Amino acid sequence: MRFKALEIALSRQPIEVSKEFSRVQDMYACNVFNDDAMQSYLDKDTYKSIKKAIKDGTKINRTMATQIASGMKAWAMEKGVTHYTHWFQPLTGTTAEKHDSFFEPQDGRAVVKFSGDALVQQEPDASSLPSGGLRNTFEARGYTAWDPSSPAFIYENTSGKTLCIPTVFVSYTGEALDYKAPLLKSIDLLDKAAADVCRYFYTDVKKVGTSLGVEQEYFLIDKALYNQRPDLIMCGRTLFGYAAAKNQQMDDHYFGSIPDRVFNYMVDFENEALKLGIPVRTRHNEVAPGQYECAPQFEEINLAVDHNQLLMDLMDEVANKHGFKVLFHEKPFAGINGSGKHNNWSLLTDTGINLLSPGNNPLSNMSFLTFFINTIKAFHDNADLLRASIASASNDHRLGANEAPPAIMSIFIGSTLTKVLEDIENNIKPSKGKTEDKTISIAQIPEILLDNTDRNRTSPFAFTGNKFELRAVGSSKSCASPMMVLNAAMTYQLIQFKKDVDGLMAKKEMKKNDAILTVLRGYIKETKRVLFEGNGYGEAWVIEAKKRGLSNLRDTPSALHAYISDRTVKMMGDLGIFKPQELKARHHIELEDYMKKVQIEGRIIDEMTYTYVLPAALQYQKMVADNVVALNASGLPKKQVEASMEVLEEVSEHINALKTKVDRMVEERKKANKLDTIEKQAKAYSDKVNSEFDDIRYHADKLERLVDDSLWTIPKYRELLHIK
């Protein structure tokens, strides 16, 4: 089957991409119920009502909802839509939907119906989706509720079109069962807290929004080859595989010419993305062979998260048409770069100011430093929680390997800003009268220029000129969880900052600027340990980080405890984002997810060892043994038989070791399953089961190197990575 798959892969030709539209302008957002569509299909009062709800967060009454539903239905049906769905993001990390038809039978004929109630709220059963004990399976009631801030869209399949309405998903008793609901809460809270602080500098600012740009890395392999790898099908990564002689060591794939089949695939999914209003602008080869990246323009954070989830679904579907399979796993291939989802986060006012962009005057620099230093403080105080928010079984393989940041949470800000913070901390005023040191009216605030930092690819959280880039998020992970945590941490910090500044102004009668600088100076001293400019991969950083008291949570079960720490429970409770039971539920769900993924990998290792690797190795062992017997019988000198004997001994050694280690791993898995709590099970899977995988792989990969190529039944790395 391997050679049949190779034949299919090598015979594929690029699929021609449909040229439905000749201009991007005509294509962009044509399947989105956006502002233009709303103006065309809604009356003026209804249009104003929904725009106000989106802008101010006000509720839409049922009468208006009925009018919106009528206009949305008319728009969708004109485009050939027959069904609608509430599109939501449960705690599986993927998207979910249940389709209902617009048509209902009435008196022997079909009647088209779509009410305001159907738009605003639905009750999908969804009882089997993760809840972490918030409800029992027999307690099936849960609600999806419309999110007007993320526009409805039409998803096209080969056989039909569906109107998708972005929603939150909550339990009967109101607990969040998704990623969107807490994210929306954090966005609203950060808006208010940031706007309050912002008015120290800009009195006309009424709102502060969060923006996000998500760089999405992924691998593409031929679908025929993918289908011959049980590990890829079941786990998303290769559990066995001897390294190709040529992988990424020549650095020739990065930014190289895009292969024709891949290029056509990219054009196809980008066209579909543009029709859905996803502003994908960048495409290129990544470092590893078979690895690529796409990136959209920055958007409002809720929409950016929705678009990234939708984009992954779209990429997977379009890949099928082109004979590819997309791999979003963080580390699908050993020994080469893994894939991340770089989250570029910033704060924007309703007056057009990027609060994390240094300006060219003292006022803008003062506001910049305020939000910049508060971001550092928020990260410092919640580093373990941010680590938990990006933790997963798959990301554990990536963190700290081949250009991914380590599990130690630190911040890179560059030498220029490091010097600025040191000067503020030490109360050093800018020099006067020199061209290179411009005189300004506020002490200790020098001119700070855009792009005054280099990039540090080993930093989990790096300042890159006018935004912070959270590089630690895994490529398969939803952005919602880490962005919610970052928003919540920043909100909590800004609230405290305003209390600290106002307190100094009231008690010590300090002027505003003096009070702000005094508070910031204190924050700089408190947070220095989390700033790191060097190589995050080096062992020296591990030692240094330990001296600084920074956590190094290398595995997911250890990292996830931050979800239920006293600090997290208090912060999320004070902000009203999560109740304690909701945090416990998420902790439980993430632990269970980790355990199940490692469990599945262990089962596939067992299966592939006994049904793929050992049969090929034993057959080859017999061939070599027969050859040794024949050589000995031929009367050849012993020296001329030594090479064959050495091969036989090496093959036999790896066969015995492989079987022994796999059987031991299976026993450890059975023991872990018998433990009485999910915490104990997850830890056992990490320490006793997952820890065996690399040793098992070593012997399987050595056998792949030795066994006759014609006997090896699963596609090899050189085929998976290089056949396009």
Q: pLDDT over 70 for what percent of the chain?
A: 94
pLDDT-derived band of residue 472, with 50, 70 and 90 as boundaries?
very high
pLDDT-derived band of residue 447, with 50, 70 and 90 as boundaries?
low
From 6-10, 79-83, 171-175, the region with the lowest mean pLDDT: 171-175
Alpha carbon distance 153, 146 (integer Å): 13
- Give the structural domain span for 254: 188-578
pLDDT for residue 63: 87
Per the domain annotation, does 461 fall within a domain?
A: yes
Per the domain annotation, does 436 fall within a domain?
A: yes
Question: For residues 705 and 365, which has the higher predicted lDDT (pLDDT)?
Answer: 705
From 340-349, 357-366, 371-380, 547-556, the region with the lowest mean pLDDT: 357-366
Question: Are 677 and 530 contained in the same domain?
Answer: no
* Domain boundary, last residue among 578, 606, 621: 578
Per the domain annotation, does 548 fall within a domain?
A: yes
- The 3-state secondary structure of 416-451, one letter per residue: HHHHHHHHHHCCCCCCCCCCCCCCCCCCCCCCCCCC
Domain count, the chain: 3
**Tens of pLDDT along 646-672?**
999 999 999 999 999 999 999 999 999
Alpha carbon distance 696, 239 (integer Å): 9
Question: Are 197 and 79 contained in the same domain?
Answer: no
Amino acid, single-letter form, for residue 581 = Q
Per the domain annotation, does 462 fall within a domain?
A: yes
Amino acid, single-letter form, for residue 482 = P
Question: Are 232 and 151 contained in the same domain?
Answer: no
Alpha carbon distance 655, 660 (integer Å): 9
**Tens of pLDDT along 579-612?**
999 999 999 999 999 999 999 999 999 999 999 9
Per the domain annotation, does 554 fall within a domain?
A: yes
* CA angle 305–193–208, rounded 5-degree value: 55
pTM of the model: 0.94
**Tens of pLDDT along 284-306?**
999 999 999 999 999 999 999 99
Percentages helix, strand, coil for the chain (3-state, rounded to 5) are: 50, 15, 35
Question: Are 160 and 219 contained in the same domain?
Answer: no
* Domain boundary, last residue among 154, 178, 202: 178
Alpha carbon distance 278, 214 (integer Å): 11
pLDDT-derived band of residue 451, with 50, 70 and 90 as boundaries?
low
pLDDT for residue 363: 58
Question: Are 163 and 211 contained in the same domain?
Answer: no
pLDDT for residue 440: 33
Per the domain annotation, does 274 fall within a domain?
A: yes
The pLDDT of residue 430 is above 60: no
Alpha carbon distance 449, 454 (integer Å): 13
CATH of residue 459: 3.30.590.10
- Give the strand pairing for 83-87 and 160-171: parallel
* Domain boundary, last residue among 550, 578, 606: 578
CATH of residue 624: 1.20.120.1560
Question: Are 119 and 239 contained in the same domain?
Answer: no
Average pLDDT over the chain, rounded to whole? 92
| Section 215-244 average pLDDT | 97
Helix axes 180-198, 480-507, angle to 10 degrees: 30
| Section 194-206 average pLDDT | 95
From 234-238, 332-336, 357-361, the region with the lowest mean pLDDT: 357-361
Which of 49-58, 129-138, 570-579 has the highest mean predicted lDDT (pLDDT)?
A: 570-579
| Section 122-140 average pLDDT | 76
pLDDT for residue 437: 36
Alpha carbon distance 528, 523 (integer Å): 9
All residues at 6 or more sequence positions from 107 whose CB lies less than 8 Å from its CB, including other chains: none
Question: Are 405 and 529 contained in the same domain?
Answer: yes
Question: Are 282 and 421 contained in the same domain?
Answer: yes
The pLDDT of residue 677 is above 90: yes
Per the domain annotation, does 587 fall within a domain?
A: no
Question: Are 211 and 143 contained in the same domain?
Answer: no
CATH of residue 40: 3.10.20.70
Question: For residues 440 and 218, which has the higher predicted lDDT (pLDDT)?
Answer: 218
pLDDT for residue 361: 62
* CA angle 227–229–231, rounded 5-degree value: 125
Question: Are 192 and 173 contained in the same domain?
Answer: no
Question: Are 121 and 45 contained in the same domain?
Answer: yes
From 123-137, 338-352, 397-411, 515-529, the region with the lowest mean pLDDT: 123-137
**Among 419, 421, 392, 423, which Cα is nearest to 407's?**
392
pLDDT-derived band of residue 456, with 50, 70 and 90 as boundaries?
low
**Tens of pLDDT along 605-639?**
999 999 999 999 999 999 999 999 999 999 888 89
Question: Are 36 and 99 contained in the same domain?
Answer: yes
Query: How buried is residue 238: exposed, middle or buried, by Cβ count under 10 Å (0-12/13-18/19+)?
Result: buried
| Section 513-517 average pLDDT | 93
Per the domain annotation, does 40 fall within a domain?
A: yes
